[in-house]
Amino acid sequence: MPTDLTSLVADRDLAALRARLTAAEPDLLADLERLVNVDCGSYTREGVNEVAAWTADFLARLGGEVTRHADPAAALGDTVEAVFRGAAGGPRALLIGHTDTVFPVGTVAERPFRVADGIATGPGVTDMKAGLLTLLYGLEAVLATGQLPFERLTVIANPDEEIGSPVSTPHVRRVAAESDVAFVLECARANGDIVSARKGTVDYVVTITGRAAHAGVEPEKGRSAILEAAHQVVGLHALAGQWPGVTCNVGVIEGGTRPNVVAERVVLEVDLRAVDRVAMEAATAAVQALAAAPTVPDVVVAAAEIHRHWPMEKLPRTRRLVEHAQALAARLGFSVRDATTGGASDANTTAGMGVPTLDGLGPIGGLDHSPDEWLDAKSIVPRTTLFAALLLATGRDPEVVAWRAAALR
Ligand SMILES: [Zn+2]
């Protein structure tokens, strides 16, 4: 029998969450200013660890068992993990937020946190300090109800999302393997959409090796890597659209030495994306086929895969999470739609493992990774209330509880 979604979170519970988070708004904004004003680009280990320590303290105050996992190579910051135990037999949840930004040291001095006309700015304000605070304050509001409807809820705050999560992915995978549901707190899209699917990405470095020769005296002895690069670029760009949702971009091209030399070497940097696994496998096979069959004789083309994120496909169970988010948002007086976005996040990892995952649950903002990054400060309380209510609703949902039971069988 279908569950009446409204019955899972009573009107008075919803009102209590909203009242609590409305009262907490000044504290949340002060914490946002505190965190935005730390230079914490992925490679700024000290800054990332300052944010990690702050986050670990917050989670410990909420009663979590907190562990800080250091980067074995001591290059990147710590991954913070906090475990909360609740209702026995309830589902197991994973919440993810990242502590790093894409901005170098000095950005805070140039353009510190500001709020003007309800719009907050500053490095990482939307991507994703605001989302991290939605996670922390939303969880705090749920715990304040005295009922955590999850058998186990694990928070991971990772230091390296902006560079593809190289040191935190093993931790994310370990916890996701024992989770029934995952929520990623990247911010909502600029139009307020949450995210139920993300493209997967593959990064390539394509090296083209020809043979140098004098361009005027004996050009016939040369094999132009630049001519072959032209063929490869056209072929790579033509992959876009051959499968629905596939895009391919040669973003960097470097090679040759002088006009009077037949070019010996060219390097291309390529970004390939796909919305589903089948299309990604087909498109990556096509990249290798292009490399294996150069147009210019005797030239060698090698396409090296540097990094891969499988697509975050919308799983059938994810629909249930979207229904909860939409039903709760409507009761809170706004509407949300779910969307597919082109960028990858840690949600690609959890969804790729088959864990129903929703992303984009933070406040509303846009122009991430640019100096014009902005956050709609008025969206903080509604979205944090939505997130807290979503935790209660999914934890109590008999259908989600049944996912846990099925995992035990
Ligand atoms: Zn992010």
Query: Are both 326 and 396 inside the same structural domain?
Result: yes
Kindly report which listed range (3-17, 35-49, 259-273) carries the lowest average pLDDT score.
3-17
Mean pLDDT of 34-63: 98
The Å distance, Cα 180 to ligand 1 centre, comes to 23
The Å distance, Cα 100 to ligand 1 centre, comes to 8
Q: Would you say 201 and 271 are in contact if contact means Cβ atoms under 8 Å apart?
A: yes
Work out whether the CA dihedral 33, 34, 35, 40 comes out positive or negative.
positive
Does residue 367 sit in helix, strand or coil?
A: coil
Query: Are both 364 and 384 inside the same structural domain?
Result: yes
Query: Are both 47 and 133 inside the same structural domain?
Result: yes
The pLDDT of residue 1: 47
> Is the pLDDT score of 342 beyond 70?
yes
pLDDT interval class at 407 (50, 70, 90):
confident
The Å distance, Cα 343 to ligand 1 centre, comes to 9
Query: Are both 169 and 35 inside the same structural domain?
Result: yes
What digits encode the pLDDT tens for the residues 185-207?
Answer: 999 999 999 999 999 999 999 99
Task: Indicate the residue type of 131.
Answer: G
Mean pLDDT of 162-176: 95
Query: Are both 134 and 43 inside the same structural domain?
Result: yes
Mean pLDDT of 273-286: 95
> Is the pLDDT score of 109 beyond 60?
yes
Query: Are both 104 and 39 inside the same structural domain?
Result: yes
CATH number at residue 279: 3.30.70.360
Query: Are both 207 and 194 inside the same structural domain?
Result: no
Beta strands 152-158 and 79-85 are antiparallel
The pLDDT of residue 392: 97
Query: Are both 58 and 104 inside the same structural domain?
Result: yes
Number of domains in the chain: 2
The Å distance, Cα 243 to ligand 1 centre, comes to 27
Separation of alpha carbons 99 and 201, rounded Å:
22
Domain boundary among 259, 292, 309: 309
Separation of alpha carbons 166 and 233, rounded Å:
29
**Strand residue runs (E) in 111-169:** 114-116, 119-121, 152-158
The Å distance, Cα 311 to ligand 1 centre, comes to 16
The Å distance, Cα 238 to ligand 1 centre, comes to 30
Query: What ranges in 79-224 are assigned the alpha helix state H?
Result: 107-110, 130-144, 169-176
> Is the pLDDT score of 230 beyond 50?
yes
Residue that has been written with the tokens 């779910």 in this structure: 338
CATH number at residue 99: 3.40.630.10
Domain boundary among 264, 279, 309: 309
Q: Would you say 133 and 375 are in contact if contact means Cβ atoms under 8 Å apart?
A: no
Which phi-psi region, left, alpha or beta, contains residue 336 (left: φ > 0; alpha: ψ -120 to 50)?
Answer: beta
CA 284 to chain centre: 22
HEC string of 182-230 equals EEECCEECCCCCEEEEECEEEEEEEEEECECCECCCCHHHCECHHHHHH
> Is the pLDDT score of 161 beyond 90?
yes
Domain boundary among 284, 309, 334: 309
Query: Are both 272 and 342 inside the same structural domain?
Result: no
Does residue 267 sit in helix, strand or coil?
A: strand
The Å distance, Cα 224 to ligand 1 centre, comes to 41
Closest CA to 205 of 164, 263, 253: 253
The Å distance, Cα 212 to ligand 1 centre, comes to 44
Mean pLDDT of 356-380: 96
The Å distance, Cα 232 to ligand 1 centre, comes to 32
The Å distance, Cα 88 to ligand 1 centre, comes to 32
CA 350 to chain centre: 10
Work out whether the CA dihedral 371, 377, 379, 381 comes out positive or negative.
positive
> Is the pLDDT score of 171 beyond 80?
yes
**Full residue range of the structural domain in which residue 332 is found:** 5-199+312-408
The Å distance, Cα 161 to ligand 1 centre, comes to 7
**Which own/partner pairs from 7-13 qualify as long-range (CB within 8 Å, at least 24 positions apart)?**
8/324, 8/392, 8/393, 8/396, 8/397, 9/328, 9/389, 9/392, 9/393, 9/396, 11/331, 13/145, 13/389, 13/392
pLDDT interval class at 2 (50, 70, 90):
low
Beta strands 265-274 and 357-358 are unpaired
**Which own/partner pairs from 211-215 qualify as long-range (CB within 8 Å, at least 24 positions apart)?**
211/262, 211/264, 211/298, 212/257, 212/261, 212/262, 212/263, 212/264, 213/261, 213/262, 214/260, 214/261, 214/262, 215/259, 215/260, 215/261, 215/262
The Å distance, Cα 181 to ligand 1 centre, comes to 20
The Å distance, Cα 179 to ligand 1 centre, comes to 22
Closest CA to 63 of 130, 132, 136: 136
The pLDDT of residue 4: 75
> Is the pLDDT score of 408 beyond 80?
no
> Is the pLDDT score of 139 beyond 80?
yes
Closest CA to 358 of 68, 131, 80: 131
The pLDDT of residue 366: 95
The Å distance, Cα 219 to ligand 1 centre, comes to 50
Separation of alpha carbons 113 and 124, rounded Å:
10
Does residue 252 sit in helix, strand or coil?
A: strand
Query: Are both 341 and 218 inside the same structural domain?
Result: no
Query: Are both 246 and 103 inside the same structural domain?
Result: no
Separation of alpha carbons 281 and 297, rounded Å:
28
Query: Are both 171 and 95 inside the same structural domain?
Result: yes
